[in-house]
Structure 1
Amino acid sequence: MYRKVDPTPTPPSNFDLHGQGQLSENNRWVIMAKIIPWSEFEDEYAENFTVSTGAPAKSFRMALGALIIKERLGTSDKETLEQIRENPYLQYFIGMTTYSDAAPFDSSMFVHFRERIGVNLVNKINEKMVKEQTEVPGVIVEKKSSEISETKNQGKLILDATCTPADIKYPTDLGLLNQAREHTEKIIDALHNQIKSPVKKKPRTYRNRARKEYLTIAKKRKPRQKERRKVIKKQLQYIQRNLANIERMGALQLLTKSHYRMLLVVAEVYRQQLSMYEKKEHSIPDRIVSLKQPHIRPIVRGKAGKSVEFGAKLSASCRNGYVFLDRISWDNFNESGDLKIQVEAFKRFTGFYPESIHVDRIYRTEENRAWCKELGIRMSGVRLGRPPKNLSKAMKKQAQSDERIRNLIEGKFGEAKRRFSLARVMAKLDNTSETSIAITFLVMNLSALLRQAFWLFFGLFHNKNLF
């Protein structure tokens, strides 16, 4: 059940500190609480709750506020809850009206918050927040009929893509097979304990022998290919034997949900690894690289340090210094196909097409260039075909300027991975990981708006002292 409350921030002076003073208006958490449009998305969050009975769920402001605090402070779920319990400003930020030394919810609720607040809702909040804070209030520009019919392109749009590595061990074929074999042994043990029949004996798994054979190669620094293939073949045979024994034992309904899910994943890993072993290949469609997170795929990036990353690939755009998440996928994709969608999103956001688009080489296809030319949009980079022999000074200066502008989104990705959590996404589920990634972009823009509000306050305070 969800009970709607007014999430609009009240004055900090109304927060009850049990007679120990009052909250400051200039605190960063008080300012950020005013920036976020809480009330506009309360109804959309309430749609997650269809049952009208039971204990009331936590409010939308508490759920989103807790996720923002966690990302802003860079702490774990449990540590974030301790910070909220100890800090009255954080309690005000999540919508509490009085200070309490008790935790407002259990740390396990963070998983439910990420599931209920999906990536689409976070993106809507991000765009609405930036649009409200960047628009000049009370200014209405009257346009002539000729200006309305021929709106000129304005602004710059910067596009790029990156990968957000997940928190998994670097996958190897032998390591995955060893983990799969161990899980089948645990499933056999669980089924034997559930059946409790004195007539049926537990099938033999040869786990000690299989473990020793795995370690003979795993402990070697540079094993030969023939040795590795020989051990992989043996591990496949052990898994095949265990899967056949599980099918023969039956009673799969006695398995727990986690064991049954792992059984399905192990069966798929066995099929993929057997196919690659027989064909002597090292790639297969929808390859599983983690048993506990089977949705993760290898993303070939071609970078100098990391040619392959394991996580979600995302496509983002930067408008007026603010970054927005446009697409996220666990499968690799060509980001050049998102250019038209991102340009149309820029037009919906600003009301006009961009004057120029700043992208790297992968976006500069013939189709994208022709489409941008029809709309009067200049695309950065040299033209297709044979490069000109002599570049003019104006062309060189324009190319350098475009590259400096494009560096902005590279800096945003660097900030997201160094300052925030995109360098290693700790969430385990696919939907919760996507929400965690979207929250990072929301917090980055929120931090930028907070800096803007701080410098505005500093400028007003400085001018006041001058007079």
Structure 2
Amino acid sequence: MKPEPTPDSLDPETLRAPKVLLAAIVDPLHPLVLVARMLDWRRFEGIFKTEYASSRGRPACPTRLLIGLHYLKYAFDLSDDACLARFSETPVWQYFCGYEYLVHQQPCHSTTLVKWRKRIKEVGAEFMLDETIAVGLRHGIINKKEFDQVVIDSTTQPKNIARPNTTKTLQDIRKKLIKESKRIGLKFKNSYERKGDKALFKYRLCRQRKDEKNAKKFLRNLRTYLGRVIRSLKKRSVDLSEKLISLISTAEKVLRGAEGKAPRVYSIHEPTECCFVKGKVFPRFKYGSKVSIATTARSCWLLTARSFSGMISDVRTLHDTVWTVKRIHGFWPKEVYLDKGYRGCEEECGMTKTFVKGCAASRSGPTKKWMKRRSSVEPIIGHLKHDHRMGRNFLRGRLGDQMNPVLAGCGFNIRKMLSVVKERAKFVYEHFYGRRAVKVIRVLKGAGKR
């Protein structure tokens, strides 16, 4: 029989889909379903309820939805928009985020996630990281003895900024000063717009011809134009806005950096980022912030990821990292194992003993055995950068530098939890639903094979 012809227009009533219960269509043995039942979502609601007004404004999105979206975003290396798009087409994700019925629309706009991250700050992200460890302790996936031996190492977190260019930075910051000044009604006798563009063009032309002498002359002209604009604005200090005062401060740092004086500004919109030279062939330089990672030596669960501003040595990050582990999880590690970059801090850090690779104390007894596990943190750093959005930080400002590694750690622990639960799926399901349900599933699977 031939198929029926497709009508030109469909009745809106026929297009309206009935409500579909998610519990009826998702696989009860799916790792995300089991982890969703293991996490203590009520704990987050009690922690974050103080961040909202009691009666003013539009009702906020559910706390479980926003936390679940961030867990999934960093576990599967997605942007805000990609995470919301995948949420609308994946029933298991909707079940994980607390939805009861299947929906086909995105739950919120991507800017809602941005505003929520600014609301909870780094402390809220640390609560999310703590829950990924606490759920493992509650259900016997993590042994408490694993926290006795901890490995700490540091790495760089590159920021999403363009490769620095001194002449372009001088030109861009001068244009930003002029634009903001015109917005508030200030006028200039000379803004050097055409002269600046001409000097930048001739500088690039001289560099292409390898005429370094004339290139230095045009670079000096660009510095002179920026300096004159800054001095002209500082004479009118009464009429300046807060944004313009901040831009003037950044412009002065850019000018000093162009003259070879520290500290240097590598990006106008991210003036706090630093340049790290790692001694590698490629990339030779990395522009961002330093991050200290702490993991368990036995099973490699991530305990904390702390971001530091400025050019800071590894030795100066150790005490803050150990203290952060104590503040988030409530315990002092008994022993911490470090690489040679931490030489000079062999003494105790709080209630924690430190062992540096190559020192005499690390070559005898059980310490030698655990020192062999020190290198286990290196592949974890690689996974954080390539699989959990720490390879390029897209979150803005200093708050973004602090939150991104912590949320990347949440994603790493969630992925690790999913792999463990996948291996033990039948046992976890038996814990929640009883042995009889597991037997029924086994019988049904056997009947399907036949």
Cα deviation, residue 413, structure 1: 0.5
Cα distance in 2 between the residues matched to 1:296 and 1:396: 43
Query: What does 1:3-402 correspond to in 2, within 5 Å?
Result: 17=20, 21-135=24-138, 155-191=148-184, 203-218=189-204, 220-221=207-208, 223=210, 226-243=213-230, 252=239, 261=243, 263-276=244-257, 281=260, 283-285=261-263, 287-319=264-296, 320-340=299-319, 342-343=321-322, 349=329, 353-354=333-334, 356-365=335-344, 368-371=345-348, 377=353, 379-383=355-359
Closer, same or farther: CA 456–313 of 1 in aligned 2, 3 Å: same
Letter of the structure 2 residue corresponding to residue 99 of structure 1: L
Closer, same or farther: CA 276–227 of 1 in aligned 2, 3 Å: farther
Gaps of 5+ in 2: 1-17, 429-437, 444-450
8 Å contact 2:33–2:92 — kept in the other structure?
yes
Closer, same or farther: CA 398–225 of 1 in aligned 2, 3 Å: farther
Cα deviation, residue 370, structure 1: 3.5
Deviation string, structure 1 residues 44-77 (Cα, Å, up to 9, x no partner): 2111123522211112112212222222332222
- 1:443 is aligned to 411
Closer, same or farther: CA 223–189 of 1 in aligned 2, 3 Å: farther
Closer, same or farther: CA 34–239 of 1 in aligned 2, 3 Å: same
Deviation string, structure 1 residues 120-174 (Cα, Å, up to 9, x no partner): 222233223313313566xx99xxxxxxxxxx99842111011110100111322
8 Å contact 1:210–1:235 — kept in the other structure?
yes
Cα deviation, residue 186, structure 1: 2.5
Closer, same or farther: CA 205–378 of 1 in aligned 2, 3 Å: closer
Letter of the structure 2 residue corresponding to residue 215 of structure 1: F
Corresponding pairs, count: 410
RMSD between superposed Cα atoms in Å? 4.0
Closer, same or farther: CA 132–74 of 1 in aligned 2, 3 Å: closer
8 Å contact 2:177–2:248 — kept in the other structure?
no
Any idea what SS the aligned residue of 2:294 has? strand
8 Å contact 1:123–1:438 — kept in the other structure?
yes
Cα distance in 2 between the residues matched to 1:36 and 1:431: 26
Cα deviation, residue 270, structure 1: 3.2
Cα distance in 1 between the residues matched to 2:131 and 2:77: 24
Letter of the structure 1 residue corresponding to residue 307 of structure 2: I
Cα distance in 2 between the residues matched to 1:444 and 1:315: 15
Cα deviation, residue 428, structure 1: 1.8
Letter of the structure 1 residue corresponding to residue 153 of structure 2: D
Cα deviation, residue 302, structure 1: 4.4
Query: What TM-score results when the alignment is normalised by the length of structure 1?
Result: 0.75
Deviation string, structure 1 residues 347-367 (Cα, Å, up to 9, x no partner): 78586753x5321112231xx
Query: Higher mean Cα deviation, 416-425 or 67-76?
Result: 67-76
Letter of the structure 1 residue corresponding to residue 308 of structure 2: S
Query: What TM-score results when the alignment is normalised by the length of structure 2?
Result: 0.77
Any idea what SS the aligned residue of 2:267 has? coil
8 Å contact 1:184–1:239 — kept in the other structure?
no
Letter of the structure 2 residue corresponding to residue 382 of structure 1: G
8 Å contact 1:64–1:113 — kept in the other structure?
no
Letter of the structure 1 residue corresponding to residue 202 of structure 2: T
Cα deviation, residue 410, structure 1: 0.8
Q: Identity of paired residues, percent? A: 17
8 Å contact 2:31–2:421 — kept in the other structure?
no
Cα distance in 1 between the residues matched to 2:354 and 2:105: 57
- 1:5 is aligned to none
Cα deviation, residue 432, structure 1: 3.4
